Structure 1
Amino acid sequence: MQLTKHQRRPRLELQLRHHPDNLHALYRESQDPVERARWQALWLLAKGQSIPQVASNLGYGERWVRQLIHRYNQDLPMKNLRRENKGRAPLLSPELREAFYQALLQPHPRDGLWNIRNAAEWLSQRLGRPVDPRRAWSWMRRLGFAPLRPRPRHRQADPEAQAAFKKNSS
């Protein structure tokens, strides 16, 4: 809602659907702290307290109280919906996770070492869609593996000289 400089915001009214005693009972019976604070604010508003008074009594801002009134007037639930959000299912099912773990225990068929790209290719083949190498790395870490990469070798390194150095230095 866009207001010009001298317009006033329309008065926000609580459209009661519950008796104040019922609001008090809902507030007292609630186990969830978020839901409890919402019912308490509505009960205080129904008793006749102003928005600034309710905000200061409960330790919330006036904006929170106004949003709560809008929520109640629109008949939205007062409970905390964040706890009901179970989130997305994991990328790997328990069976696929076990198969990935068993595959990581064996040497990689192509070059013997499991690196991030090899793991991402393996997961992509099993899932039937592309898997980002970073996601493969995180699954390897969850399963207790570190992606391996051979140590770099200099192109002009002499293996006999290195072996002789090792024998002489110990």
Structure 2
Amino acid sequence: MQLAQHQRRPRLELQLRHHPDHLHALYRESQDQTERARWHALWLLARGQSIPEVARNLGYTDRWVRQVIHRYNQGLPMKNLRHENKGRAPLVPPELQEPFRQALLQPHPRDGLWSIRHAAEWLAERLGRPVDGRRAWYWMRRLGLAPLRPRPRHREADAKRQEAFKKSSF
């Protein structure tokens, strides 16, 4: 049986595009913590420290330092780009939120009570696309409202017995 030989990874070299003093300035001026840590690691590497030394000095792993070197060598930004992600636009745009709220405060034109289905239909008409009832519920709650409907009653409920129970339970 023949075993595969272990191959060493090629040596990872920092391809400096900045002078070490410039790396130090970038490290000192950075406001973002992630970006600052990355510039700090690069500055220490440019000053001649090894990957394990930098990892130990900064409290990170060797793997993290290697990822920073790869990132720098590829010309990727040192910033934490998650902070710049604005996210998806809200389902109900700001100019439609107040009209939606005002519509919900009025009685529904069909039967007087707003249901989730009614709210979803109202939004779908204004937005020009189908709206799921869960999204309508979310926006009703977000605007501080909830659909009003009477509590369900059992078909065979006896009103006299229920009144008697209420009186005797206090």
Correspondence list, 1:78-157, <5 A: 78-157=78-157
Cα shift at 1:162: 7.6
Cα shift at 1:37: 0.7
Alignment match, 1:23: 23
Cα shift at 1:5: 4.8
Alignment match, 2:53: 53
Shift of the 5–132 alpha-carbon distance from structure 1 to 2, 3 Å rule, reads farther
Cα shift at 1:95: 2.1
In the alignment, the residues of structure 1 paired with residue 97 and residue 118 of structure 2 have an alpha-carbon distance, to the nearest angstrom, of 16
Cα shift at 1:18: 0.9
Cα shift at 1:93: 1.7
In the alignment, the residues of structure 1 paired with residue 72 and residue 91 of structure 2 have an alpha-carbon distance, to the nearest angstrom, of 38
In the alignment, the residues of structure 2 paired with residue 37 and residue 105 of structure 1 have an alpha-carbon distance, to the nearest angstrom, of 52
**1:140-170 residue CA offsets vs partner (Å, 9 max, x unmatched):** 01111122232112324566x589x48x959
Task: Give unmatched runs, 5+ long, in structure 1.
Answer: none
Q: Secondary structure at the match of 2:76?
A: coil
In the alignment, the residues of structure 1 paired with residue 106 and residue 41 of structure 2 have an alpha-carbon distance, to the nearest angstrom, of 61
- TM-score when normalising by structure 2: 0.87
Shift of the 5–107 alpha-carbon distance from structure 1 to 2, 3 Å rule, reads farther
RMSD, aligned CA: 2.2
Alignment match, 2:63: 63
Correspondence list, 1:27-42, <5 A: 27-42=27-42
Cα shift at 1:136: 0.7
- The one-letter code sitting in structure 1 at the alignment partner of 2:98 is E
In the alignment, the residues of structure 1 paired with residue 112 and residue 161 of structure 2 have an alpha-carbon distance, to the nearest angstrom, of 24
In the alignment, the residues of structure 2 paired with residue 102 and residue 22 of structure 1 have an alpha-carbon distance, to the nearest angstrom, of 57
In the alignment, the residues of structure 2 paired with residue 72 and residue 108 of structure 1 have an alpha-carbon distance, to the nearest angstrom, of 59
Cα shift at 1:36: 1.0
- The one-letter code sitting in structure 2 at the alignment partner of 1:66 is R
In the alignment, the residues of structure 2 paired with residue 127 and residue 52 of structure 1 have an alpha-carbon distance, to the nearest angstrom, of 56
**1:42-82 residue CA offsets vs partner (Å, 9 max, x unmatched):** 00111111111111111111111111101100111112222
Shift of the 156–59 alpha-carbon distance from structure 1 to 2, 3 Å rule, reads same
In the alignment, the residues of structure 2 paired with residue 65 and residue 23 of structure 1 have an alpha-carbon distance, to the nearest angstrom, of 15
- TM-score when normalising by structure 1: 0.87
Task: Give unmatched runs, 5+ long, in structure 2.
Answer: none
**1:3-55 residue CA offsets vs partner (Å, 9 max, x unmatched):** x6511111111000111111111111222211111110000111111111111
Cα shift at 1:134: 1.0
